[in-house]
Amino acid sequence: MEFSSKLLERAVNEMSQLPGIGKRTALRLVLYMLRQPKEQTLALSEALQSMRNEVKFCKSCHNISDVELCEICSNPKRNETIICVVEDVRDVMAIENTSSFRGLYHVLGGKISPMDGIGPHDLNIESLVHKVKAGHVSELIFALSSTMEGDTTNFYIYKQIKDCNITTSTIARGISVGDELEYADEITLGRSITNRIPFESSIKL
């Protein structure tokens, strides 16, 4: 791609470093900015810079936060003995949206994935094990994605805390609400039968 301006070329190149944004999309976005008022581009670039420079990670759960201890961890109404282990900040947001969990979180920052060069020491696992061993935790809920990497990560953590005499659980796998059985995959359908729940408890929900 030949550019008539070095400034344009640099902006397109930087923009296309982002995942899922190729050169053509980057060019479309950058040309759109040129048609909008200068203030919009200024606001975007300032927001990105101050976010990148000033954002903190909660020292307890590693969630993104503006202060040292995030809002969830510092909320006295939440049950600090139950910890939900998630991969990512987005998973905290997704679970918070359901309003069905009143404990705390622990954000690992990814999952163990040797193929991508991510080992246990690249994740926030040590601080979790430390928290459990300190004895303040009664239950650990594993809420990682149901993939080979997620299962590996769950098991790696489980091995390290299994002697700590706490409850460990994992979120239920089964047919999504509203889904039809004939389109469900075999493994999910099989698990949903093996792990069936009393009918009375399903109608309470």
Residue 104, φ and ψ in degrees, nearest 5: -105, 170
The piece of 46-54, 132-140, 158-166, 176-184 that touches its own copies (CB under 8 A) is 46-54
Q: Which one of residues 60, 62, 70, 87 is an interface residue with its own copies (CB under 8 A)?
A: 70
Q: Which one of residues 60, 62, 63, 104 is an interface residue with its own copies (CB under 8 A)?
A: 63
Q: How far apart are CA 132 and CA 140, in angstroms?
A: 9
Give the CA radius of gyration of the chain. Answer: 22
Q: How far apart are CA 164 and CA 143, in angstroms?
A: 20
Q: Are 140 and 168 in contact (CB under 8 A)?
A: yes
Does 71 sit near its own copies (CB under 8 A)?
yes
Q: How far apart are CA 181 and CA 109, in angstroms?
A: 34
The piece of 29-37, 134-142, 144-152, 166-174 that touches its own copies (CB under 8 A) is 29-37
Does 47 sit near its own copies (CB under 8 A)?
yes
| The two three-digit tokens of residue 9, written as one number | 């070329």
Does 65 sit near its own copies (CB under 8 A)?
yes
The piece of 89-97, 124-132, 144-152, 171-179 that touches its own copies (CB under 8 A) is 89-97
Q: Are 69 and 59 in contact (CB under 8 A)?
A: yes
Which residue's CB is nearer to its own copies, number 52 or number 130?
A: 52
Number of alpha carbons in the 13 Å side-chain half-sphere of residue 11: 18
Does 13 sit near its own copies (CB under 8 A)?
yes
Q: How far is the CB of 187 from its own copies (least distance, A)?
A: 27
Q: How far apart are CA 50 and CA 56, in angstroms?
A: 11
| Contact footprint for its own copies (CB under 8 A) | 1-8, 10-11, 13-15, 17-21, 25, 27-34, 38, 40-56, 63-66, 70-72, 88-90, 92-93, 96-97
